[in-house]
Structure 1
C-alpha cells in the first residue's frame, strides 16, 4: 500500500525456499518460497497492516499523513532476506517530484522485522550502512545489542541476555543442578545458549550435554540428538531453539518411547500454540513476552472476503490450504472449488487464535514506535495539537535519530529503547498444563521483571504442573545432596555437580547441606556422633560424687579418725611406761600432723578453684614436713638416749624437750618458707586441660611453677631419707621399746610409696593424677601410723602386762 511515508516489513511467512538447479548455462530462475504457510507469521504480517491502518485513522498520531507499507516474505532464508532488504533499501518505484505534489512512496523510512536473529543480523549489516532503522519483533540474540556492529537495530522483544539469565535463575530456583541443553544451530540458539550456560555456571549448575541442530540438517543428526536425550541421566532439558527446530526434534522423539523429561523452553517455542500438540511435553515451563489485548485485531483478521483473498497471492494460498479447496481462478480439473460458503469464523488456526497475543503485540509496538519517530520528525507540537506536513522531506537517518528518543504507552504497555536499542525486559512465566478435557493449554504462572532490584525480579503466583502431570518438583541432580556431617569431594573427571559425600574427620563438623569443607569445633567443644554440631565437652575432675572420690574421701576421714583415736588412747594412758618412754610430746605432735595429712587429701577432691589449688599442695607439703620432722625428732631421741647411758655422757642435755621442739619448728619453717616463695612468685591455679583427651576437658590444678612443686616434694624426700638412715643406724640398739625398728619400717614404706609415686604421677592421665597423689598421701600416712603406733596401742590395750617399767628395762630377759 502506497503512502506519504512507507514502512517496510519482512516476515518468514513460508518456512522454506525453493532450491533451483543451477546448470550455469541458463539464467537462474527467480528465488521463490515453498512449503506450507506459517499461519502464525501470516498473523504477524496482517497485524502490521492492521496497525498501519489504525494509525492512519488516528487523530492523535500523524494527523493528515498516510503511512504506506511494503511487506515481503523471506521464506526463512538468509539469501531471500538479503534480496528483500536490498529491494526495501533501493525502492521499487522511481521517485517523481512534480510541483508541490510530490511522493516519497519509494523510500522506506524504517523496517519491521525480521523474525529470526540470523536473518536480522544479515539485514542489519546492510541497512545499517544506509542509516535505515530496523525494529525487530522477534530477534532476541544478545549479539544484536552491539551498537558498533548494528547501529540501526532496535527491537521490541527483550534480548536473550535477559532471558538466559532468567532461565538460569529459574533452574536454580527449583534446585536443578544437572541438566541437558539443546539449541538451534543458528545465531539465536548459539548465542542464547552461550549466555545461558555462562549464567548457569555462575549459579552452580552443571550441563551433562549440549547439542545443536538445524532444520536443514540430515535426519541422522536429529536422531543423534534425540538418542543423547534418551540416554541421558539429566531429568531437565533446557531448549534454546526456534519452534521449527523443536517441532522437528519432538517429532523424532515421539517415534520411540523414552523416559519423561522436564522441558525448559525459550520464548521462541514455549509460547507457540502449535507446539502444544506434543502431549509428552506436558509440564514444560519457560518465559514468554508479555501478552496483550489489541482491540479490533481479531475482527480485522477475520474480515477476509473472497475479493480480498483473491487480490493477495499469500492470502489465496492460506485460504486454499485452510479450507482444502481452490479458488476458481486457480482451480484445475478435478480440484475442489471454493464455493464461497467457507466461514473463517469457524477456522481453528494460529492465524485466528488471538488468545495469546505475545509476538503479535511486539509487531504492534514496533509499528507504533516507527510511527512515533516519523511523527516527531515531521510534526510540530503546538499547545494540545500537532501540525504535520506530509510534504516534509525526511531521510531515514532522521527517523533513526528520533527512534532512539521515543517513549510512549500503548494498551497499558510502555515502549522505549535503551542505549543498545533494547526494551525493558519483562517476561511471563508460562507452564504447559493439562486441562480437564485432556488437552494441553498454556497458563501464566509468574512474572519476571529485570528492572526490579536483584533478588526481586522473579515471582511465581500460581501452582505449576510438572512432567507427567505431577505436582511435586522433579529432582535432577548428578549427586544427591551431602547431608550435614559430610563434605563434598569432586569425582575425578566429572563436573563440579558430581561428587561423593565423605564423613567429616573426627574433630570436625559441617552443619550445612552440600558443605565443601568441614571445620573444627571450638577448643572447648566436641562433635556429636553425626558430626553436624558441636556440643560442650564434658568437664572431668575427681569429685565427691563418683565412686573413686567417695572411697578416697572415706579412707582420708577414716585415717584422720584413726589418728585421733590413737591420740585418745595415748592420752588416756599418758602416764604408762610405754607412752612416757617414747617421748609423748613428739608422739602427740606426730599424731596431730598425721591427722592433718589425712585431712589435706580432701582438698584434692572436688572442682579445683584458686584457693583449693593453693591450699592442697602447700598444706600437703607443710603437714608432711611436720610429720617427718616429728619422726626425725623421735629417731634422734632414741640415738641420744642410748648415748646418754654411757658413763660420763652429757648428750641428753643438748637434745632435751626445748631442742626437740626447736628442731621440729626449724624443719617445718623451711618448708613454710619454700611454700611462701612458691605462692608469691608463681602459685598453682585451676586450668582446663584440653590436650590429654580430645573429647573431654580435664579440670585440674596447674603447678604454676614446677620447680616450686618439686622443691617442696624434694625437701620432704630429703628429710625422709635422712630419717630413714638414722632409723637404720639405731635399729639394733638394745632396748625393748626401741622405736628405731618401727621408724625404719615406716620410713621404708614412706620412701617406697613416694619413689613409685613419681613415675605414676607423671604418667597418670587426667583425674587419675590427683587420685595417685591422694593415694600416695594416704598410703604413706597409714604406713607411719600403723608402723609406729599400732604395736604400742596393741600392748596398751591387749598386753597391759608388758606395759611396765620392768619390762621396759628388759629385766626379765637373761
Structure 2
C-alpha cells in the first residue's frame, strides 16, 4: 500500500472567489494529483499533496502567501519550519505574469522550482533573476509573430492596439510596435486598458475608459490586437458593456487576442451579452482533453464542502443558491438541492471541457511528478535509507530537481509530449481559435488554424479561412482593415506627406512598367521577352517579329526577286544567243555579261534579308550586297569610260587608241570591286554583324534583326557605292550626246539618276523605320535600284534584238551613218 505520509507538497496559487473559472483550475490540480496517486507506475509508495493559496492579484498578498509556504503551517514565521511531514518541492503559479514574477523573486533565493501556468512576459524572462522559473506556456514572442502572420494573411495593415496600462503593457508595445512596422503594418491608435483594481475604484476607471471610446469609432480600423491578462480584460469587457447603457454606438471589430483571453464571468457578468466579441480570433496554447476529466467534473457534488474549501463559494455563485452548511444569511437565497448539474451552467461561467490554463496546470503537476520519480530512481541507485521497511526519500531537495526539469520529456495521458527548451519554456504550438457567441450567453471555440513556432520561416501559420465566422456586421465577408483603399494592379503606392506609411495615394505605373498585385510599393519592368498589357497589370509574351516569307510583304518581295531574276536571266540568254550582233558587240560584250550577272546576284542577295536572321545570313547579307552592287557600279563605270574613250580615239591624232581594249575595262571592274571587298574584310575583322533582338523599338514585339556591329563600316559601304554611282553618273552625263546608234551613255545617265535617287532617299527612310520595315526599305532599295539599272540599260537593246531585229544589222547601221 501507499504511504499516507505527505513526503512531497505541491503548492498552487491563484483563486479569485468571484471568478468561477478559477475553480476549474483547482479541479485540474486535484484531478492530476488524483491520477498520479492512483498510478502505481509513478512515485510508488508516495503520495502527492498540495496547498492552494490566494494572491488576490496584489503584490503584498503574493509575497505573504509565498513566505507562508516557508513557515510552519498555522504559524507565520518565515524561514522556520518544524513540520517534517510537509516537504516543499515546487510551486505552480501564477495566472498572471506579475504574480509569477513576485513569486519568482522569492523562489529564486530558495531555488525551489516554479512552474507558471499563465503568461510570462518575455522581457521579464531574465534567467539570472528568475533562474528557478519554468513556463508551461511558450514564449509570448511567438504569439506576436503569429499575429503578424495573421494580419499579413488577411492583408490588415491598419489596426488598433489595446495594451494594459502597466509595465507589461509598456513592454508589449515596445516589442510589438517595431515588429509591426518592420512588416508593413501600422496602428491607428493605442488604447490603454486599465489594470485590475479594487471594486470601489472600478467604476471611476470604467468612466475614464469611456472618455476614450471615440477612438474605437474609426471605421477604417476593423482589426484590433488586444494584449492583457484576464483581470485587465475584464475591465475592457465592462467598458464595452456599459457603453450600451450610455447610448454609445456599438463597436463591430475583429478582436485578435493573445492566449490570456477568455469569457469567464464573475457573478455579476453571468447574464451579460457577449455578442460584441462574436468572431474574435485568439491564440491559445495547444491542448487536448485528458481522458476522465469530464467524468471527474460530473462527479462533483456540494457534499464535497466538508473537504473542499472552495466548492461552497463556487456553488452558491454558480447556482444562486445557498448550501445548508452556510453560516451566513441564507434567507435571501434558495437552498441547494444538491442535484444541480455543472453542465447546465453558461459556458461563460463554467466550461465542462478543460481550458488551456487548466491544461497547463495539469501538465505542471505531471511534470513535478515525473521529476520526483526521476530523482527517486537516481537516488535509489546511489543511496538508500531504510526506515521501518519503507524507502524514505529523505535527501530530495527542491534545488536538486532543476537538472531533471531541464531534461524532462514525457507523454501525458492525453498523448501530448511535454518538454522544455534551454530557457525553461514549454515547446508547444498554438491553436488559432474562432470564438462564436450566441444570444443566450453561450459560446463555442472553433479551431481554425495552427501556429507552429518550430516550423520553417514563412510556414509557421496555417489558417482555414472557410471555417472562420466573422462578426455579424460583416455579413460573413472578409473584413477590410486598411488606412485607405487598396492600390490595385496597374498602380503603385505613393507616400502621403505627414502620414504613416500605411496611408498612401495610388499612382499609375509609368509607361513600360506594371504592378500585378495589390498595394505594391513600386512598379517593375517586364522581362525582355514580355511587355505590359494595356492596363499595365500583367506581362504578355512578345511576338517575334521579322520579315518572313509567309507574310504578305515578304511573299511580295520574294515574287519580285524571282521575277526580276528570271528577267535578268532571260536578257542574259538573249544577249548570249545574239552575241555576234552589232548591238551586243558594242561597248564590250564581256562587260555586258558581267553587269547582267552582277545584277542577277543583286536581285538574289535580297533573299538574304528575308527570313529569321541567323549568324551566317547576318554576316553575308550586307557584305554580299555591298560587293555585288560595287561590281555592278564598277561595270557601269567601265562601260561609260569605254564609250568616252571610243569617241575620243576616233579623233585624228588622238593618243587614246592605246587605252581601248579589255585591259582598262577589266581594271576598272576589278579595282572597284576589290576596294569594296577590302572595306568588307576590315568590317568583318573589326566588328562583324551578328544576330540580335530589339525589345524597345516596337511595343509588344521582339524584333529579330542583324546588328550591323559597326554602323560606321556600314555607312562606309554605302558611301563607297555612292561614290561609284556619282562618278558613273558624271561621266555618263557628259558623254550622253556623243553621236552613235548604240551610245549607252544616255541610258547609263538615266539609270544612275534612278540609282542615286533611290539610295539618297534610302538613308532617311531607313533611319526612321523600325523592325522588319527597316529590312523592307533596304530590300526595296536593292530591287528598285537594280531594276532601274536593268531596265534603263538593257530594255532598249532587248527591244531592238527581239522586236526590231532589222535595226540590229550592220548594213542598216552603215546606211544610217
TM-score range, shorter chain: 0.7 to 0.9
Cross-structure match for 1:622: 631
Q: 1:443 aligns with which of 436, 443, 446?
A: 446
Counterpart mapping for 1:417-496 below 5 A = 417-433=420-436, 439-451=442-454, 458=461, 463-468=467-472, 473-478=478-483, 486-496=491-501
Structure 1 distance, partners of 2:163, 2:585, is 111
Structure 1 position 261 matched with structure 2 position 253: yes
More deviation, 796-805/117-126: 796-805
Structure 1 position 293 matched with structure 2 position 299: no
Q: CA deviation at 1:539?
A: 2.4
Counterpart mapping for 1:304-453 below 5 A = 304-305=302-303, 308=306, 312=309, 315-316=312-313, 319=316, 322-325=319-322, 330-332=327-329, 335-336=331-332, 339=335, 341=337, 343-345=339-341, 348=345, 353-373=351-371, 381=380, 392=394, 395-398=397-400, 403-404=405-406, 406-412=408-414, 413-433=416-436, 439-451=442-454
Q: CA deviation at 1:465?
A: 2.0
Cross-structure match for 2:100: 120
Structure 2 distance, partners of 1:753, 1:597, is 18
Contact in 1 for aligned 2:733/2:745 (Cα 8 Å): yes
Q: CA deviation at 1:117?
A: 0.7
Structure 1 position 535 matched with structure 2 position 522: no
Question: CA 1:260–1:63 in structure 2 vs 1: closer, same or farther (change >3 Å)?
Answer: same
SS of residue matched to 1:238: strand
SS of residue matched to 1:442: strand
Question: CA 1:144–1:49 in structure 2 vs 1: closer, same or farther (change >3 Å)?
Answer: farther
Cross-structure match for 1:693: 697
Q: 2:57 aligns with which of 76, 84, 103?
A: 76
Counterpart mapping for 1:31-430 below 5 A = 37-49=18-30, 51-52=32-33, 59=40, 61-62=42-43, 65=46, 67-93=48-74, 103-104=83-84, 108-186=88-166, 189-192=169-172, 195-197=175-177, 200=180, 203-214=183-194, 215-216=196-197, 218-254=205-241, 255=244, 256-258=248-250, 260-270=252-262, 272=264, 277-289=273-285, 290-293=287-290, 295=292, 298-299=296-297, 302-305=300-303, 308=306, 312=309, 315-316=312-313, 319=316, 322-325=319-322, 330-332=327-329, 335-336=331-332, 339=335, 341=337, 343-345=339-341, 348=345, 353-373=351-371, 381=380, 392=394, 395-398=397-400, 403-404=405-406, 406-412=408-414, 413-430=416-433
Question: CA 1:707–1:249 in structure 2 vs 1: closer, same or farther (change >3 Å)?
Answer: closer
Structure 1 distance, partners of 2:551, 2:670, is 36
SS of residue matched to 2:588: helix
Cross-structure match for 1:682: 683
Contact in 2 for aligned 1:112/1:135 (Cα 8 Å): yes
SS of residue matched to 1:267: coil
SS of residue matched to 2:602: helix
Counterpart mapping for 1:784-799 below 5 A = none
SS of residue matched to 2:434: strand
Question: CA 1:613–1:721 in structure 2 vs 1: closer, same or farther (change >3 Å)?
Answer: closer
Q: CA deviation at 1:213?
A: 1.1
Structure 2 distance, partners of 1:492, 1:630, is 79
Structure 2 distance, partners of 1:763, 1:382, is 98
Counterpart mapping for 1:550-589 below 5 A = 550=556, 554=560, 557=563, 561=567, 584-586=586-588, 589=591
State how many pairs are aligned.
769
Q: Which runs of 5+ in 1 are unaligned?
A: 15-36
Structure 2 distance, partners of 1:249, 1:549, is 82
Contact in 1 for aligned 2:629/2:721 (Cα 8 Å): no
SS of residue matched to 2:130: coil
Q: CA deviation at 1:668?
A: 0.8
Structure 1 distance, partners of 2:90, 2:205, is 37
Cross-structure match for 1:23: none
Question: CA 1:366–1:697 in structure 2 vs 1: closer, same or farther (change >3 Å)?
Answer: closer
Structure 1 position 11 matched with structure 2 position 10: no
Q: CA deviation at 1:765?
A: 3.1
SS of residue matched to 1:600: helix
Contact in 2 for aligned 1:320/1:326 (Cα 8 Å): no
Structure 1 distance, partners of 2:183, 2:642, is 87
Structure 1 distance, partners of 2:337, 2:572, is 136
Cross-structure match for 1:666: 667
Q: Which runs of 5+ in 2 are unaligned?
A: 198-203
SS of residue matched to 2:70: helix
Question: CA 1:453–1:590 in structure 2 vs 1: closer, same or farther (change >3 Å)?
Answer: closer
More deviation, 696-705/165-174: 696-705
Contact in 2 for aligned 1:526/1:536 (Cα 8 Å): yes
Question: CA 1:679–1:335 in structure 2 vs 1: closer, same or farther (change >3 Å)?
Answer: same
RMSD: 4.8
Contact in 2 for aligned 1:4/1:103 (Cα 8 Å): no
Contact in 1 for aligned 2:603/2:786 (Cα 8 Å): no
More deviation, 785-794/605-614: 785-794
Q: Normalized against structure 1, the TM-score is what?
A: 0.78
Structure 2 distance, partners of 1:459, 1:791, is 88
SS of residue matched to 1:268: coil
Q: CA deviation at 1:63?
A: 5.0
The structure that has the greater radius of gyration is 1
Structure 2 distance, partners of 1:663, 1:697, is 50
Contact in 2 for aligned 1:140/1:188 (Cα 8 Å): no
Q: CA deviation at 1:247?
A: 3.6
Question: CA 1:185–1:725 in structure 2 vs 1: closer, same or farther (change >3 Å)?
Answer: closer
Q: Normalized against structure 2, the TM-score is what?
A: 0.78
**Deviation string, structure 1 residues 765-785 (Cα, Å, up to 9, x no partner):** 345555555565566666666
SS of residue matched to 2:12: strand
Contact in 1 for aligned 2:283/2:431 (Cα 8 Å): yes
Structure 1 distance, partners of 2:579, 2:462, is 101
More deviation, 235-244/598-607: 598-607
Cross-structure match for 1:25: none
Q: CA deviation at 1:593?
A: 1.9
Question: CA 1:107–1:94 in structure 2 vs 1: closer, same or farther (change >3 Å)?
Answer: farther
Contact in 1 for aligned 2:14/2:55 (Cα 8 Å): yes
Contact in 2 for aligned 1:156/1:423 (Cα 8 Å): yes
More deviation, 390-399/220-229: 390-399
Counterpart mapping for 1:581-730 below 5 A = 584-586=586-588, 589-590=591-592, 593=595, 596-597=598-599, 600-605=602-607, 606-607=610-611, 609=617, 610-641=619-650, 643=651, 646=652, 649=653, 654=658, 659-683=660-684, 685=689, 687-688=691-692, 690=694, 693-695=697-699, 696=701, 720-722=725-727, 726-727=731-732
Structure 2 distance, partners of 1:203, 1:238, is 15
